Amino acid sequence: MAFRQPGIEYKTADQIRKMRTAGLVVSRALDAAVAAAVAGATTRDLDAAFEAVLDEAGARSNFKGYHGFPATVCVSVNEEVVHGIPGDRVLQDGDILSIDGGCSVDGWHGDSARGVIVGVADPEDQRLSDVTEAAMWRGIAALAAGQRVGDIGNAIDDYVSSVPGKPLGILEDYVGHGIGTAMHQPPDVLNYRTRHRGPKIRPGLCLAIEPMLVRGSIETKVLADDWTVVTTDGSRSCQWEHTVAVHNDGIWVLTAEDGGAAKLAPLGVTPVPLD
């Protein structure tokens, strides 16, 4: 395995294929968790649905036990931004939640998150989720066309800032990351524009791109459980995430069943699978 940038793990084509295996398990597990997100279900029910898919695939959760995290996925509801611990909370009609989960297969990791609205959506919550997802895809498209990792945050920020209507905030305390033989690796992947350009985008780079947007202030705090992050003003939040690989012939969204083809086509990007 070659290391061209200090701290960054660059993958071979075969290693990216192994990450794709993990990514597809994550995608199927998120499908199950999203299907379980109905009014009357508990957040623990979503965790169980996700875990059942991992067990069937023989995959290992990369969340459970991570620095003591007690569950298979993070389920963050309404004002909860990230790292919500599944439990007895009963989902209500109109809740907006982010389900964030991952797994490893043969030591290679995948990580993905989806925004979900239970039942009938508040139009502003639907807008929040739609903009967050679209911002993620614009960040992924920037990875395909850009020169440096900082181009991803620039693209996300530019898009969010351009959306008509009440401004949405981009969280700055929590960002994307490299991924491979560990779930969290260098480099950090910012979701906002800065003067820092970041490392060069090169084949073998694998990133988790995950914008987190809020309807109000970007100020957050951590609850007494030492995990759950909430907005200090109680405004609602949303997260979307995919694991994406760069290889010699293009990019490949490892946690999307179609490799990202449908969502990237309108942005002028055609993902290239290695299989």
Q: What would the two tokens of residue 56 be?
A: 């069937």
275 labelled as ligand-binding? Answer: no
Q: Which amino acid is at 1?
A: M
SS3 179: coil
6, part of any domain: no
215, part of any domain: yes
20, part of any domain: yes
210 labelled as ligand-binding? Answer: yes
Report how far apart, in Å, the C-alpha atoms of 179 and of each of 2, 45, 186, 209, 242 are: 15, 27, 8, 10, 11
Q: Residue holding tokens 């739609």?
A: 130
Q: Which amino acid is at 194?
A: T
Which residue stretches of the chain are H helix?
13-36, 43-57, 123-145, 150-162, 261-264
Report how far apart, in Å, the C-alpha atoms of 267 and of each of 136, 139, 200 are: 12, 11, 22
Neighbours of 172 (CB within 10 A): 15
From the list 196, 184, 207, 101, the residue with the least C-alpha distance to 157 is 196
- Rounded to 5°, the CA angle 164-131-109 comes to 160
Q: What distance in Å separates the CA atoms of residue 190 and residue 257, rounded to the nearest whole number?
A: 25
7, part of any domain: no
pLDDT of residue 195: 86
275, part of any domain: no
The answer to whether the beta carbons of residues 63 and 83 sit under 8 Å apart is: no
- CATH code, 21: 3.90.230.10
247 labelled as ligand-binding? Answer: no
Query: pTM of this prediction?
Result: 0.96
Helix (H), strand (E) at residue 132: helix 123-145
- For 218, half-sphere exposure in the C-beta direction (CA atoms, 13 angstrom radius) is 13
184, part of any domain: yes
| Structural domain boundaries, residue 135 | 13-267
273, part of any domain: no
Per-residue pLDDT of the chain (275 residues; tens, 9 = 90+): 333 455 899 999 999 999 999 999 999 999 999 999 999 999 999 999 999 999 999 999 999 999 999 999 999 999 999 999 999 999 999 999 999 999 999 999 999 999 999 999 999 999 999 999 999 999 999 999 999 999 999 999 999 999 999 999 999 999 999 999 999 999 999 999 998 899 999 999 999 999 999 999 999 999 999 999 999 999 999 999 999 999 999 999 999 999 999 999 999 999 999 97
111 labelled as ligand-binding? Answer: yes
Q: Which amino acid is at 248?
A: N
DSSP character for 42?
B
DSSP character for 90?
B
pLDDT of residue 235: 98
Q: Which amino acid is at 118?
A: V
From the list 92, 103, 109, the residue with the least C-alpha distance to 185 is 109
90, part of any domain: yes
- The per-type count for the chain, helices as H runs and strands as E runs, is 5, 15
125 labelled as ligand-binding? Answer: no
How many domains, the chain?
Answer: 1
